[in-house]
């Protein structure tokens, strides 16, 4: 039975704060109470609990929600459904290490985000902890992985994308790469890869009865996202750059256009029949036979479409072209997107009560399960909020807990 996960993180690790985000928690929770029933079924994690241990990250709350940051909580956007205990220095002490060993005995998964070698120096390596619990799945997430010349190099999302050859895909033709607006390497190369690796290890364990070490590199993960554009390099010798290849800004049929109100629309008419429908609806019969122009002809066609969309406001274009049944729609702001009728019906914006802030908004669940629907039951915790409770379940007395608190073990 999957009991759950224990997440360890430190604000000085080489991975960004996002490395301990909720995607890591999928299907890997720790069962504190063996008698807990279906009430423990939360989010996408099939009824188990996540314990997080770490200090407040200096970059996790700045600029987001100062009042919550001031209350000493985890980031309000990704701390939900976790229990927080201890601090980052705990595992560095004999008492804190003893606590971790007790937790590991019943854990299904341990996730750590330190630089390679830190857990070994702390006496908390996979080899050591697997002796305590042979069924443990131990996932180490780092910037560049556990081996290789860059293994100890610090980095952030931008660095991993840059060194994976992915950053050059973002930008305009002839210009320098831009900073992407999403944490692609952190989440897509780290969180999602960790989730997949952990689930594969858990499936393997169901057959072999033994856990294993899962080495996740956000740099590796970013490289794996190059399947489409990397093929151009590997098989055709083409070095794709933003604005210079069809699917990254060069093609007029697959592009973003500015409307008369300063807002934007996205046209994604890749398939020929969609392009023909667009040309019919827009009155561009002469362009139907030239969907993928290059060079000056591409610039001319793009200019023609830009002038066309600049004649009306965004929402009017959306209404006009709706009947064409083509991949076309508005470029929405985050607030617009979250309050859009479709996102609302899909439950992608939800609310929950927070002990300090009252009702707070939360992003919904992208995975919909028919038998074990995702729910939210625990608000983002204050730092160390569950320390007393967790240590109590491990058999520590109130006096012992007070002693550890005084010694700053917790």
Active site residues: 156, 186
Cβ atoms of residues 38 and 48 within 8 Å? no
Count the residues in the chain.
410
Cβ atoms of residues 83 and 50 within 8 Å? yes
Q: How many other C-beta atoms lie within 10 A of the C-beta of residue 154?
A: 13
Angstrom distance (rounded) from CA 123 to CA 129: 9
Q: How far is CA 132 from CA 74, 102, 125, 136, in A?
A: 30, 9, 11, 9
> 3-state class of 222 per DSSP?
helix
Neighbouring residues of 96: CB distance < 8 A, sequence distance ≥ 6: 86, 89, 90, 404, 409, 410
Please give the torsion angle defined by the CA atoms of residues 54, 151, 135 and 396, in that order, rounded to the nearest 10 degrees: -20
Cβ atoms of residues 129 and 140 within 8 Å? no
Cβ atoms of residues 194 and 100 within 8 Å? no
């Amino acid at each position: 039975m999957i009991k759950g996960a224990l997440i360890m993180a430190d604000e000085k690790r080489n991975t960004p704060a996002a490395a301990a985000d909720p995607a890591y928690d999928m299907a890997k929770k720790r069962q504190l109470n063996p008698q807990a029933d279906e009430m423990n079924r939360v989010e996408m994690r099939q009824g188990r609990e996540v314990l997080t241990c770490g200090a407040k990250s200096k970059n996790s709350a700045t600029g987001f929600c100062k009042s919550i940051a001031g209350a000493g909580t985890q980031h309000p956007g990704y701390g939900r459904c976790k229990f927080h205990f201890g601090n980052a220095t705990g595992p560095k002490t004999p008492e804190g290490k003893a606590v971790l060993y007790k937790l590991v005995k019943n854990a299904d998964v341990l996730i750590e985000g330190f630089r390679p070698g830190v857990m070994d120096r702390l006496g908390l390596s996979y080899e050591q902890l697997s002796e305590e619990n042979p069924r443990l799945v131990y996932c180490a997430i780092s910037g560049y992985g556990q081996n290789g010349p860059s293994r100890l190099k610090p980095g952030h999302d931008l660095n991993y994308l840059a060194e994976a050859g992915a950053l050059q895909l973002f930008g305009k033709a002839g210009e320098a790469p831009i900073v992407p607006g999403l944490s692609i390497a952190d989440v897509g190369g780290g969180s999602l890869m960790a989730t997949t690796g952990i689930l594969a290890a858990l499936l393997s364990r169901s057959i072999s009865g033994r856990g294993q070490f899962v080495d996740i590199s956000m740099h590796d993960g970013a490289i794996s996202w190059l399947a489409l554009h990397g093929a151009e390099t590997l098989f055709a010798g083409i070095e794709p750059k933003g604005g210079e290849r069809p699917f990254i800004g060069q093609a007029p049929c697959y592009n973003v256009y500015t409307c008369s109100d300063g807002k934007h629309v996205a046209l994604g008419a890749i398939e020929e029949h969609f392009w023909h429908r667009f040309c019919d609806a827009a009155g561009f019969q002469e362009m139907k036979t030239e969907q993928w122009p290059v060079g000056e002809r591409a610039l001319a066609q793009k200019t023609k479409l830009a002038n066309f969309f600049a004649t009306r406001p965004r929402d009017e274009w959306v209404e006009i072209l709706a009947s064409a049944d083509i991949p076309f729609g508005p470029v929405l702001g985050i607030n617009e997107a979250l309050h859009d009728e479709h996102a609302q019906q899909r439950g992608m914006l939800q609310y929950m009560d927070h002990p300090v802030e009252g009702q707070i908004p939360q992003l919904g669940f992208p995975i919909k399960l028919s038998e074990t629907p995702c729910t939210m039951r625990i608000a983002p915790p204050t730092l160390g909020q569950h320390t007393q409770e967790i240590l109590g379940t491990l058999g520590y007395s109130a006096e012992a807990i007070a002693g550890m608190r005084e010694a700053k073990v917790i």
